[in-house]
Structure 1
Amino acid sequence: MMELAPYAAHAEMSVGRLHSESPCPTRDVYQRDRDRIVHSTAFRRLIHKTQVFIYHEGDHYRTRLTHTLEVAQIARTLARALALNEDLTEAIALAHDLGHPPFGHAGEDALNAAMAAIGGFDHNAQSLRIVTLLEHRYAAFCGMNLTFETLEGIVKHNGPLVTADGLPVARHAESGLPLAIRAYAREQDLRLDTQAPLEGQIAALADDIAYNNHDIDDGFRAGYITVREMEEVPLVARMLAEVRDRYGDLADAPLVYEMNRRMVAAMVQDVLAETRARIAAAAPASIEAVRTAPAPLAQFSDDMAASIADLRRFLFARVYKHRDIVKKMTDAQAILRELYDYFAANPAEMHLEATRVASLSDDTARLRAAGDFVAGMTDMFAIKAYAAIRSGLAKAAPR
């Protein structure tokens, strides 16, 4: 077994779980967390949730599940190279998108607008809500009862959420912390003013590496971007030139695949070099030193961050904002808004457990339950439920 760095998360030193449990004889606490996530209903649903292209448009486009698996693979590679805890890293990576609703970020925007009166919707907060409350399968507690380190990695992988004085920062500075995060903070202090462990930080970077590269691949497969257009992006052009120098003229499909391989490798190597340099400069002696560092220790170099920004601008212009994608996502948003309004007005049709139905007398709880129900849908279920409601002939199927 690889010896972990002193600043890594060591399973035997975990803060532990909110609800005490007997140890597992065959797995440490982070391996157990990973397995609970993989066996969850929310994880299985990711197979039919949109990444960029709606799941039924083609067998080869990424779904939210295949994206998650790619993130986990890249994250484990980074963790191994940095002597971090691979199992914790994988658990965080596998859980990072559990809270996404149907139809990708367009679906999130629709639910956020629909739920504005009760604090809006945030997929990261919803991931926390799923693993701490909604995945209700265990007899002794709600949620999955994950370790402190997995929970803080899920909720803080993009950095601290508040200042030392408790003021929301970054994207929460104007709207405040999402309700789900504030609610759970009353149950357990996840130290929202500190950095995530390095395992959480590299899971976030693995997410960036995965989606930036697979969105090029999927955009090319869909016919939204050509090789000639890709050459407008300096980093991509450099990788295409490397492939041509080695293999000469190639058909576009293998050319793009070879380019993508090199892009992923370049980003991984950049993260490793930059993170090692930052670790060497900061010399953290423990996971606590990682948490209290003034900035994340795992980062891209400035040059790579600028190259990724160029790539993102290209993808927004040519893929995410392509008229076909915009049309489909506009339609999808209308579906989600109507579903939310319908189930908020007809909570009995969500077929919830009797104990949860009894708790919906409060308006906020009823609206929150409708948001949870719609957010948990797959694309396929949402489309079918919408058609049934529109027809007036059928109710939503039990979940």
Structure 2
Amino acid sequence: MPLPFPAPLAPYATRAEKTRGRLHAEPESETRTPFQRDRDRVIHSVAFRRLKHKTQVFVFHEGDHYRTRLTHSLEVSQIARSLCRRLRLDEDLGEVVALAHDLGHPPFGHTGEDVLEECMADYSGFDHNAQTLRVLTKLERHRASYDGLNLSWETLEGTVKHNGPITGALAEEKAKAKGKKLEPMPAALAEYAAGHDLELHTYAGLEAQIAALADDIAYNNHDAQDGLRAGLFTMAEAKDVPLLGPSLASVCRDWPDAPEAVQIAEAVSVLIGRMVNDVFEETSRRLAELNPASAEEVRAASEPMVAFSEALAPDIRTLREFLFGKMYRHYKVNRARSHAKRIVRDLFQLFFEEPGVLPPVWFNRQEGKPDDKRARAICDYIAGMTDGFAIEEHRKLFDATRWL
């Protein structure tokens, strides 16, 4: 049963009082733990506010009821806190990793990311996870004495590695299991790691691993809810989909006269609960098997401790495949993706070829720099845009009728 009040932390929890500290030394707070301060710094950041107008699946102006990157991040943090509480981990660390995990996403969701990857292919690449690290350590600036938010080592480590090791034997093993080759480390990560070792060859602590699974739980369920409510697919089309179909059928039997929107919300709530319980039980089993005495033993493990069970994992993959075909590649979403691709590509090409049209602060960041540094500055500018700002910038620069 979930505990009504925080219980003493488990031995394998990440402990705020044993933090490895910050890159730039600061006096500790008298009222907040290091991870609580990290959370507050993320919430007060410009990048976090911008998530309100960044695409999850639907471009921000398509409807007020659909998820944005901000509401998605808040929902991920709620699930992460719940799981951390049940497993007696540091809730604040789980929460801040969840809140920060998408800060590096450009406008228009994965579409914007795909285009920036293409545009940056000859200039050390683009990776939204590495971009999140740039936001946290370089692009946000609230203190005169350093760039970035100066977050604790554990928060930076968890944000970068929440999906697993990035270098080394474990990362190679993980890539091989997916039938892929290990990708080169993103340039932004390599640059930062050269001066601040985040131990990229190991797993992150349990709190960050939980944030990663909370992300999966949130987007699978909430994207399904948004897709149904938007009419991209119907309840009848979902009836044979593992997890989602049985959940909808059960709710319709119990509440046959409820409005469809309420039935969908009920089904999603039930399904989130089932996935959360599954992660809790599988994680508890793995922890009992390893019996780690510290967070360091969790990091040194040969596999993640937080996972879905073998029984549930195939059904989750099938649900993702259904959402990909029926929702993420629905013709209406594809039309929005098509516009988004042109907007991001046009902006990058124009700024690179005619940097004089950049706002002064961004012009100054790239002026006189070699092509790779110029491209990185332009990429930073575009990646920080909201959907609406990118649309308006494109209209200003490419709609000649505005000047007539």
TM category (shorter chain) comes to over 0.9
Q: Is the 8 A contact 1:80 1:86 kept in 2?
A: yes
Q: Is the 8 A contact 1:9 1:197 kept in 2?
A: yes
Residues paired across the two proteins, number: 395
1:351 Cα deviation from its structure 2 partner? 2.8
Whether 1:41 and 2:46 are equivalent positions in the alignment is yes
- Which of 13, 18, 34 matches 1:13? 18
Partner residue in 2 for 1:230? 238
Partner residue in 2 for 1:373? 381
Q: Aligned letter for 2:358?
A: M
Mapped to 1, the partners of 2:296 and 2:364 lie a distance apart of: 39
Partner residue in 1 for 2:3? none
Whether 1:75 and 2:117 are equivalent positions in the alignment is no
Q: Which moved more, 1:386-395 or 1:116-125?
A: 386-395
Mapped to 2, the partners of 1:356 and 1:242 lie a distance apart of: 59
Mapped to 1, the partners of 2:246 and 2:160 lie a distance apart of: 36
**Normalised TM-score (structure 2):** 0.93
Q: Is the 8 A contact 1:76 1:90 kept in 2?
A: yes
1:391 Cα deviation from its structure 2 partner? 2.8
Q: Is the 8 A contact 1:359 1:365 kept in 2?
A: no
Partner residue in 2 for 1:4? 9
1:164 Cα deviation from its structure 2 partner? 4.8
Mapped to 1, the partners of 2:327 and 2:362 lie a distance apart of: 44
Map of 1:57-96 to 2, 5 A cutoff?
A: 57-96=62-101
Q: Deviations over 1:315-347 (max 9, x none)?
A: 011100111111210210111011111222333
Whether 1:294 and 2:298 are equivalent positions in the alignment is no
Q: Is the 8 A contact 2:282 2:308 kept in 1?
A: yes
| Percentage identity across paired residues of the two chains | 50
Q: Aligned letter for 1:316?
A: F
Mapped to 1, the partners of 2:276 and 2:197 lie a distance apart of: 32
Q: Deviations over 1:73-111 (max 9, x none)?
A: 000000000000000111100000000000000110000
Q: Deviations over 1:236-269 (max 9, x none)?
A: 2221232234334433211111110101000000
Partner residue in 1 for 2:262? 254
Q: Aligned letter for 2:282?
A: E
Q: Deviations over 1:57-76 (max 9, x none)?
A: 01101001000000000000
Q: Deviations over 1:111-160 (max 9, x none)?
A: 00011001221111100111011112211111111111000111100000
Map of 1:100-249 to 2, 5 A cutoff?
A: 100-164=105-169, 170=175, 173-249=181-257
Partner residue in 2 for 1:283? 291
1:175 Cα deviation from its structure 2 partner? 3.8
The verdict on how the C-alpha distance between 1:352 and 1:144 changes in structure 2, with shifts beyond 3 A counting, is: farther
Runs of 4+ in 1 over 6 A off after TM superposition: 165-169
Q: Aligned letter for 1:162?
A: T
Partner residue in 1 for 2:393? 385
Mapped to 1, the partners of 2:190 and 2:29 lie a distance apart of: 31
Map of 1:255-274 to 2, 5 A cutoff?
A: 255-274=263-282
The verdict on how the C-alpha distance between 1:346 and 1:24 changes in structure 2, with shifts beyond 3 A counting, is: farther
Q: Aligned letter for 1:193?
A: H
- Which of 355, 362, 370 matches 1:362? 370
Q: Is the 8 A contact 1:99 1:130 kept in 2?
A: yes
Q: Aligned letter for 2:326?
A: R
The verdict on how the C-alpha distance between 1:327 and 1:354 changes in structure 2, with shifts beyond 3 A counting, is: closer
1:221 Cα deviation from its structure 2 partner? 1.4
Q: Is the 8 A contact 2:51 2:70 kept in 1?
A: yes
Q: Is the 8 A contact 1:46 1:64 kept in 2?
A: yes
Q: For residue 301 of structure 1, give the secondary structure of its aligned residue in structure 2.
A: coil
Q: Is the 8 A contact 1:160 1:193 kept in 2?
A: yes
Mapped to 2, the partners of 1:394 and 1:146 lie a distance apart of: 43
The verdict on how the C-alpha distance between 1:332 and 1:354 changes in structure 2, with shifts beyond 3 A counting, is: closer
The verdict on how the C-alpha distance between 1:356 and 1:85 changes in structure 2, with shifts beyond 3 A counting, is: farther
The verdict on how the C-alpha distance between 1:315 and 1:358 changes in structure 2, with shifts beyond 3 A counting, is: closer
Mapped to 1, the partners of 2:360 and 2:238 lie a distance apart of: 48
Q: Aligned letter for 2:327?
A: V
1:8 Cα deviation from its structure 2 partner? 0.6
**Normalised TM-score (structure 1):** 0.95
Q: Which moved more, 1:347-356 or 1:108-117?
A: 347-356
Q: Which moved more, 1:197-206 or 1:324-333?
A: 324-333
RMSD: 2.0
Q: Deviations over 1:376-397 (max 9, x none)?
A: 00000000000000035889xx
